[in-house]
Structure 1
Amino acid sequence: MSTHHLEAAPHTESGNTTPAQPRLPLVVYVLALGTFLMLTTEFVVAGILPEVAGDLKISLAQAGGLITVFAVGMIIGAPLMALLTMRLSKRLTLVLALVVFIVGHVVVGLASDFSVLLAARFVTAVATGAFWAVSAVVATRAAGAQAGARAMGIVSAGGALATVLGVPIGAFVAQMAGWRGTFWFLAVAATVAVVFVARLVPEEGPSTQVSSVRTQFSGLRSGRLWLALLACTTTTGGVLAAYSYISPILTEQAGIATALVPLVLTGFGVGSFIGTIVGGRFGDKHPGLITILTPAVTTALLIAISATTGLPWVMTALVVVLGLFGLSANGVLIHLAVTFSGKAATLGSALAVSAFNAGTAIGTAVAGATLSSSWGIHGPAAVGAVIVFLTLVPTIALALLQRRKARSASPTQAKGMASAER
């Protein structure tokens, strides 16, 4: 585990000192960079969906399969690769994941057969799942117990930054050089990322213990872990049900010009970036508040998006605020999953990745089906609202369990459990 130094504690008027939060180690920001690329490739298809469908001469729902298959790949790949790479160093696993990521994007850039594209996206997703699962554990351990949620907030903010910069840039590149140019751009960027990860992610020391498969599975007995995983599934599934079809929602439903779509996506990304950092900063001390408030507000926003027609400025504002709240609890939920899984931290993190993407796969599939129903283009946001609302069931249950455990503990123990770490 990396060590880090405390910042100088500021003096109060009484002469006492107030302990400052520890600085996060550099590795956390390096992993945020990798997450930026990984989440860009997952979300970028949403911004170029009409271009992909038009070039391949398929429907929007079929093109959305590139999003769904990626989610399925991460569902399977994250826990599978967590077990298969258990005896490899964390750094080597991250580098190998990036190499596979690069190859997958080169294949997408060259292939014209849709089935080949689906296969390449699936393999890329397996690598992405491995990177995300391992990076969560490395970041959490490097930051320490008192800043784990904050570290995951930064790493998750790398994913949020993907919607600020990655998706809009990908949409812009697609307009300038065709949608395949977006994937070539990502392949080149990932090549640069390999160098940073290989040089800056520390190698594990000789005292690092490699747990057995039995130990990993023993960590799955925690009921609170499964509640956190359920929340991961519904919160992301609901938001991505709408976001996966955000381009046609903006153009066909709200009447926003195609050329302005990247700007609206940037607004969503800025909101998501800010919300994720804020959620992580407060998540160590107030996990219940963050994980209950965000889905409640997100549900209301998705209902409003579904009901809005022909109001471009209103829709733009709703999408930006959706970014602020929609995924801002994800870092906290990952931290909870890692914490509740005990010694099986890597597998717990991997299952969180699988849960996020299970929700994405289900949400995008159901949302795509509504496009051909009477709901039409209003369907994805309506489906998303229902799915996100279900998040309140596990998050309220977790908050009640934590409160009950705190009441039954001694005062000293209750204070130590304030961050829901145990």
Structure 2
Amino acid sequence: MPKQLYLLMLTILVVVMSELQIAGMMPEIANDLGVSTSQVGLLVSLYALGMALGGPLLAFAARHSPPKRSLLLVVAAYAILEILVPLIHEYWWLALLRIITGCLSGAAFGLSVTFGARLAPSPTRIGEAVSIVLGGIMVGTVIGLPLSHFIAGRWGWQASFYVLGAAALFLFIISALALPHRAAASQDDAAQDVRNLRSPRLWSRYLVSLLTIGSAYAAFSYFTPLLEQTAGFSSDATTVILLGYGLCSFIGNLVVGRFADRHAVAVLRFGHALLFIALILLALFGQVSPLVVITVFIVGLAGVTMNPALVTRVAEVGGTGNLVSTVHTAVITMGVTLGTAISAVTISLFGDDPAVAMWTGVVFAVLAAVVLAMQTARRPLPASA
């Protein structure tokens, strides 16, 4: 496979790390800016909202442009804005730039996946090529949150933005030199991609993706305060636990990817059940440290790791075109937005207790399981009918 695919993987990795960095340093940002934990949690939602709404718009605007030029412009703009975040010590400034960088990150995600498909040696190996690009999700999940937590604890939360901005600038330079030129998508390909988005079955599967990721992030976004304030772990111990969470996510992605093609529905049912049980235990027994560690790892195994199964079900009815894939990314990040935002609201209503976020995740998991059951309960008519 072309080595340039790994540059696209690194682009996804930086995007995922940027998405997770706020969740890894909530207490530091809240104390420094003089805001509540729930307000800092909303920054995760704002970033995801930018990805969900701005990402598809930028991808649509760039649908007739060469992929290399579009991707480089997005990465360069992201790097500059990430470095600008710490320059003004105000919550509103941080919130504004998180929205804009979220838009750029959503576009970078979709453009990287599309570019990866164009770099495949043959049409029969597109899936293999795209899987390399999406490997950035797993690696970013493993190191993103614990790394931002570690950096914030040592040098302040602002340093995390400088590090990611510098990494993006370096990636821009290497990509400008190494990525090959590819022509823009044809008019026919773009038109077919738009037509695929009209399928009601596609949007019903998008809904399962939204609720599933919403369940994971409703809880995950508040793991740091849960571990430190409720379970009583130190900052260093929390970093190690979050690293373990990331490693479990890496393992879970490998396992789900192995079974997603043939058993997508079964994988999702099992994952929803694990999320339901683990989040209830976290909500009820958040003070029991050993149990908290185990259940956090279970959420790592069965949370965002359901992505391969979700992608498989979407591709079955909508294909793998640029807009279908980018809109699916937008729907998933909208799940991040809704999960985190609703948790922020419920926490504010019920005493700023991170356990409330776990209950919010439980509700999302139940809804996802119900919608999936309604879809799979329908049986196709016999061929003679």
Same fold (TM over 0.5): yes
Q: Which residue does 1:318 correspond to in 2?
A: 295
Q: Which residue does 1:366 correspond to in 2?
A: 342
Instruction: Summarize the alignment of residues 147-158 of structure 1 with structure 2, pairs less than 5 Å apart.
Output: 153-158=131-136
* Matches of 1:331 and 1:404, distance apart in 2: 24
Where does structure 2 lack aligned partners over 5 or more consecutive residues? none
Q: Which residue does 1:209 correspond to in 2?
A: 186
The aligned amino acid for 1:360 is V
CA drift at 1:328: 1.3
More displaced stretch, 221-230 vs 195-204:
195-204
* Matches of 1:48 and 1:102, distance apart in 2: 20
Instruction: Summarize the alignment of residues 179-194 of structure 1 with structure 2, pairs less than 5 Å apart.
Output: 179-194=157-172
Count, aligned residues:
382
Counterpart selection for 1:86 from 48, 63, 66? 63
Counterpart selection for 1:167 from 118, 132, 145? 145
What SS class does the counterpart of residue 221 from structure 1 fall into?
coil
* Matches of 1:202 and 1:337, distance apart in 2: 29
More displaced stretch, 74-83 vs 24-33:
24-33
* Matches of 2:373 and 2:133, distance apart in 1: 25
CA drift at 1:251: 1.2
* CA 54–223 in structure 1, closer or farther in 2 if over 3 Å, else same: same
The answer to whether the 8 A contact 1:28-1:155 is kept is yes
What SS class does the counterpart of residue 22 from structure 2 fall into?
helix
* Matches of 1:131 and 1:112, distance apart in 2: 27
Larger Rg belongs to: 1
| 1:308 aligns to 2:285 (yes or no) | yes
* Matches of 2:303 and 2:128, distance apart in 1: 18
CA drift at 1:338: 4.6
Structure with the larger helix share: 2
The answer to whether the 8 A contact 2:217-2:339 is kept is yes
* CA 256–337 in structure 1, closer or farther in 2 if over 3 Å, else same: same
* Matches of 2:113 and 2:308, distance apart in 1: 9
What SS class does the counterpart of residue 348 from structure 2 fall into?
coil
Q: Deviations over 1:53-77 (max 9, x none)?
A: 1111111111122111111111111
The answer to whether the 8 A contact 1:32-1:155 is kept is yes
* Matches of 1:296 and 1:107, distance apart in 2: 42
* Matches of 1:324 and 1:120, distance apart in 2: 31
More displaced stretch, 271-280 vs 133-142:
133-142
* CA 280–139 in structure 1, closer or farther in 2 if over 3 Å, else same: farther
Instruction: Summarize the alignment of residues 339-378 of structure 1 with structure 2, pairs less than 5 Å apart.
Output: 340-342=317-319, 345-374=321-350, 376-378=353-355
The aligned amino acid for 2:138 is A
CA drift at 1:186: 0.4
More displaced stretch, 59-68 vs 39-48:
59-68
Instruction: Summarize the alignment of residues 209-288 of structure 1 with structure 2, pairs less than 5 Å apart.
Output: 209-211=186-188, 215-288=192-265
* CA 270–232 in structure 1, closer or farther in 2 if over 3 Å, else same: same
The aligned amino acid for 2:9 is A
What SS class does the counterpart of residue 120 from structure 1 fall into?
helix
The answer to whether the 8 A contact 1:161-1:272 is kept is no
CA drift at 1:27: 4.2
* CA 135–337 in structure 1, closer or farther in 2 if over 3 Å, else same: farther
The answer to whether the 8 A contact 1:133-1:346 is kept is yes
CA drift at 1:152: 5.0
More displaced stretch, 130-139 vs 194-203:
194-203
TM-score scaled by length of structure 1 = 0.83
CA drift at 1:81: 1.1
* CA 257–105 in structure 1, closer or farther in 2 if over 3 Å, else same: same
* CA 246–360 in structure 1, closer or farther in 2 if over 3 Å, else same: same
Q: Which residue does 1:14 correspond to in 2?
A: none
* Matches of 1:329 and 1:153, distance apart in 2: 14
* CA 212–156 in structure 1, closer or farther in 2 if over 3 Å, else same: closer
| 1:136 aligns to 2:110 (yes or no) | no
* Matches of 2:326 and 2:239, distance apart in 1: 31
* CA 287–408 in structure 1, closer or farther in 2 if over 3 Å, else same: farther
CA drift at 1:212: 7.6
Q: Deviations over 1:13-63 (max 9, x none)?
A: xxxxxxxxxxx5544433221111101111111110000011111111111
CA drift at 1:101: 1.2
The aligned amino acid for 1:193 is L
| 1:118 aligns to 2:92 (yes or no) | no
TM-score scaled by length of structure 2 = 0.90
CA drift at 1:397: 5.0
CA drift at 1:198: 3.1
Where does structure 1 lack aligned partners over 5 or more consecutive residues? 1-23, 410-422
CA drift at 1:120: 0.9
The aligned amino acid for 2:160 is T
More displaced stretch, 365-374 vs 249-258:
365-374
